[in-house]
């Protein structure tokens, strides 16, 4: 919870994400961003640092659906079922996006991708499992920073479509 690398606006977030918060009228979140000395790059690292349940972490994962980037927001305790994503998007093939594609699309490195405030506009899917919590924690643009938000607000700001794409959700 150090704030040694704050932006000029007082936010510990990545400058692009800090600017997005201000633009979206979410400036009050600047003071709620938590920065850790150790990386919170994975959901497990973030949950351990925060002392919360793994499922209270919102992972921002970029996939390529027929070569087009798509962001999937998933709770930290679950895995994305790419077949369900493929069906949801009507795509032929869905794969994890390469690191360079993630950075080019979002403007952030893997492990620090926030749910919104990206360089380019992409399609966003949010798994319904996020709604099981009053608050979820998501990356604030760096592998060392996270912010809290109620999942409904997070999904709305991400412009996400609510879906069921969690592994184990397939109908028999």
**Residue-wise pLDDT tens digits, 91-145:** 999 999 999 999 999 999 999 999 999 999 999 999 999 999 999 999 999 999 9
Question: What is the predicted pLDDT for the residue at 168?
Answer: 86
Question: What is the predicted pLDDT for the residue at 171?
Answer: 54
Rounded to two decimals, the pTM is 0.89
**% of the chain with per-residue pLDDT over 70:** 91
End-to-end CA distance of the chain: 45
Choice between 3 and 66, residue whose per-residue pLDDT is larger: 66
């Amino acid at each position: 919870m150090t704030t040694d690398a704050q932006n000029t606006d007082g936010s510990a977030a990545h400058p692009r994400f800090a600017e997005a918060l201000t633009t979206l009228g979410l400036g009050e979140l600047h003071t709620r961003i938590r920065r850790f000395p150790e990386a919170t790059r994975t959901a497990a690292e973030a949950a351990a640092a925060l002392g919360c349940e793994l499922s209270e972490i919102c992972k921002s994962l970029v996939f390529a659906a027929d070569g087009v980037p798509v962001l999937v927001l998933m709770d930290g305790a679950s895995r994305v079922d790419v077949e369900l994503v493929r069906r949801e998007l009507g795509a032929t093939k869905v794969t994890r996006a390469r690191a360079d594609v993630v950075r080019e699309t979002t403007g952030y490195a893997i492990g620090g991708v926030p749910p919104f405030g990206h360089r380019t506009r992409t399609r966003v899917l949010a798994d319904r499992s996020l709604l099981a919590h009053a608050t979820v924690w998501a990356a604030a643009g760096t592998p060392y920073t996270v912010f809290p938000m109620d999942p409904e607000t997070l999904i709305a700001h991400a412009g996400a479509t609510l879906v069921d794409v969690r592994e184990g959700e397939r109908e028999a």
